[in-house]
Amino acid sequence: MDSSKFEKFIDLWRDEYAIARTIDEQKSIDKNGDFLPWYTYPAIEYLKQFDYSGKKVWEFGCGYSCAFWAKRAKKVVAIEDNKQWFDKWNNEFDYENLKILLREENDNYENSLDETCDVIIVDGKRREQCAERALQYLSDDGFIIVDDSDRVNNSEDYQKMISLLKEAGLLQIDFYGCCPMNNFTKATSVFFRRNFNFPLCQKWQPANGIGNLWGKKRNERKKFYKNNK
Yes or no: say if 46 and 175 are a contact pair by the CB < 8 Å rule: yes
pLDDT band at 225 (very low <50, low <70, confident <90, very high): low
**What SS3 state is found at 49?**
coil
Is residue 104 pLDDT above 80, yes or no? Answer: no
pLDDT band at 126 (very low <50, low <70, confident <90, very high): confident
Which CATH number is correct for 40-209, 3.40.50.150, 3.60.130.10, 3.40.190.10, 3.30.420.40? Answer: 3.40.50.150
Domain ranges of the chain: 40-209
pLDDT of residue 87: 92
Share of the chain above pLDDT 70, in %: 95
pLDDT of residue 151: 94
Is residue 1 pLDDT above 60, yes or no? Answer: no
- Please report, for residues 79, 111, 113, 117, the alpha-carbon distance to residue 140 in angstroms, rounded to integers and kept in the order given: 23, 20, 16, 9
pLDDT tens sequence across 51-96: 999 999 999 999 999 999 999 999 999 999 889 989 999 999 999 9
Its pTM surpasses 0.85: yes
Q: Please tell me the distance from the alpha carbon of residue 155 to that of residue 47, in angstroms, as a whole number.
A: 26
155-169: average pLDDT: 95
Distance of CA 172 to the CA centre of its chain: 15
Is residue 18 pLDDT above 90, yes or no? Answer: yes
158-182: average pLDDT: 96
pLDDT of residue 130: 92
Preceding amide of 199 cis, omega within 30: no
Share of the chain above pLDDT 90, in %: 75
